């Protein structure tokens, strides 16, 4: 998950956007505005469209779907996509890179900040269904540090498909 490496994301995305100009009239960037502080600036251009969702969670499950998953309650759920439990090249979890390395959180910070959540919901998208493939250690490491129970919820990739279809149709018109 390159979003955990903000400098790397900016460098690679800038390079890829420059390269796509040679091959495409229009480019769609599927990164939410919270994935990088400068994402709007990085993706500016007359042949570039960036998805409007806040983050990857919005792209997988719209607000209505997430409300349904939490039993209709507006509540304190921490949402996880599969990438959160992956490792980086430094053999650290993505969540460690974000919270420990970039934000500088220690165990006390995690306790205070994650203490506002009641649980974590892992969005397990069909056909990937990766939750069962992750070792219990990955889930327990995250759960232990955040003190949140991690619950898998299966969903389709329909929201992402709808999002991409909408941008393709907008560009054709």
Pick 31 or 156 by higher pLDDT: 156
Cα-Cα-Cα-Cα dihedral of 107, 63, 27, 19, to 10°?
10
* 13 and 69 fall within a common domain: no
User: Which pLDDT score, from 0 to 100, does residue 105 have?
Assistant: 94
User: Which of 4-18, 31-45, 137-151, 154-168 is most confident?
Assistant: 137-151
* 28 and 109 fall within a common domain: no
Query: What angle do the packed helices 107-114 and 136-146 form, to 10 degrees?
Result: 80
* 15 and 64 fall within a common domain: no
Domain count, the chain: 2
Q: Enumerate residues 6+ apart whose C-beta is below 8 A from 166.
A: none
* 125 and 46 fall within a common domain: no
Share of the chain above pLDDT 70, in %: 89
* 77 and 105 fall within a common domain: yes
Is the pLDDT at 3 greater than 70, yes or no? Answer: no
Range of the domain at 26: 2-56+158-172
* 81 and 135 fall within a common domain: yes
* 94 and 134 fall within a common domain: yes
CA atoms within 13 A of residue 75's CA, in its CB half-sphere: 14
* 92 and 151 fall within a common domain: yes
Q: In the structure encoding, which two tokens stand for residue 165, read together?
A: 């279809």
* 82 and 131 fall within a common domain: yes
Is the pLDDT at 113 greater than 90, yes or no? Answer: yes
Range in 26-30, 124-128, 136-140 the model is least confident about: 124-128
């Amino acid at each position: 998950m390159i979003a955990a490496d903000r400098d790397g994301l900016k460098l690679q995305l800038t390079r890829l956007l420059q390269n796509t100009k040679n091959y495409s009239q229009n480019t769609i960037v599927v990164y939410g505005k919270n994935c990088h502080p400068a994402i709007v600036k990085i993706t500016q251009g007359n042949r570039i469209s960036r998805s409007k969702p806040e983050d990857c969670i919005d792209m997988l499950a719209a607000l209505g779907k997430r409300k349904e998953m939490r039993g209709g309650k507006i509540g304190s759920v921490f949402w996880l996509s599969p990438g959160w439990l992956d490792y980086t090249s430094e053999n650290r979890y993505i969540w460690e890179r974000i919270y420990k390395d970039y934000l500088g959180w220690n165990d006390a910070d995690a306790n205070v900040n994650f203490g506002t959540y009641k649980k974590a919901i892992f969005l397990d998208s069909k056909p990937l269904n990766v939750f069962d493939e992750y070792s219990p250690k990955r889930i327990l490491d995250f759960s232990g540090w955040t003190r949140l129970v991690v619950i898998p919820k299966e969903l389709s990739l329909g929201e992402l498909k709808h999002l991409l279809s909408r941008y393709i149709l907008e560009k054709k018109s």
